[in-house]
Amino acid sequence: MYKYMRIQGREDSYITKYPKGIFSLCWNLIRDKVLTAEEEALFRSIDDWFKDNLPEPEPCKNHETVITFFKCGTTSHMQEKLQPAIDLLDKYGKPYDVVYTNFVGKIVYEDDWQIAVSVKDGKMAAE
């Protein structure tokens, strides 16, 4: 059984130099005016749900160079909430990977549902 899961694209974030996560990928679809008004409203409702129901990691609030992973054991309902966003990526041909792993670098934040991992030069920083 895997401990962590991340949905990430195949283009790197200019900040972390690591592949962008699903939220960044969808925000890019909005920025690029790809989504219909209904699709944009759908994604914004998903984003709002996560903001309302999941703590924002301090390193993210502080704009530290981190990436986040869901914990596999506690977030199956969150993965279901993300499915419409995944469907948008599929619809518009935005490539992504669902990464399952037990091996992450230095964890700088952890709660019941997620972790944040330090990233340096596009790689997860060692412990």
Q: How is 35-59 classified by DSSP, letter by letter?
A: S-HHHHHHHHHHHHHHHHHSPPPHH
Mean pLDDT across the stretch 108-126?
Answer: 90
Tens of pLDDT, residues 68-83? 999 998 888 888 999 9
| pLDDT reported for residue 126 | 80
Distance between CA atoms of residues 127 and 110, nearest Å: 15
What's the predicted TM-score (pTM) here? 0.91
Nearest Cα to Cα of residue 118 among 58, 71, 46? 58
Mean pLDDT of the chain: 93
Domain boundaries, the chain: 4-124
Q: Is the distance from CB of 94 to CB of 19 less than 8 angstroms? A: no
For residue 21, list its beta bridge partners.
8
Mean pLDDT across the stretch 86-91?
Answer: 98
| pLDDT reported for residue 121 | 85
The CA-based dihedral angle spanning residues 82, 7, 4, 70, taken in that order and rounded to the nearest 10 degrees: -40
* 9-21 b/e (C-beta count within 10 Å ≥ 16 → b): beeebeebebbbb
| pLDDT reported for residue 22 | 97
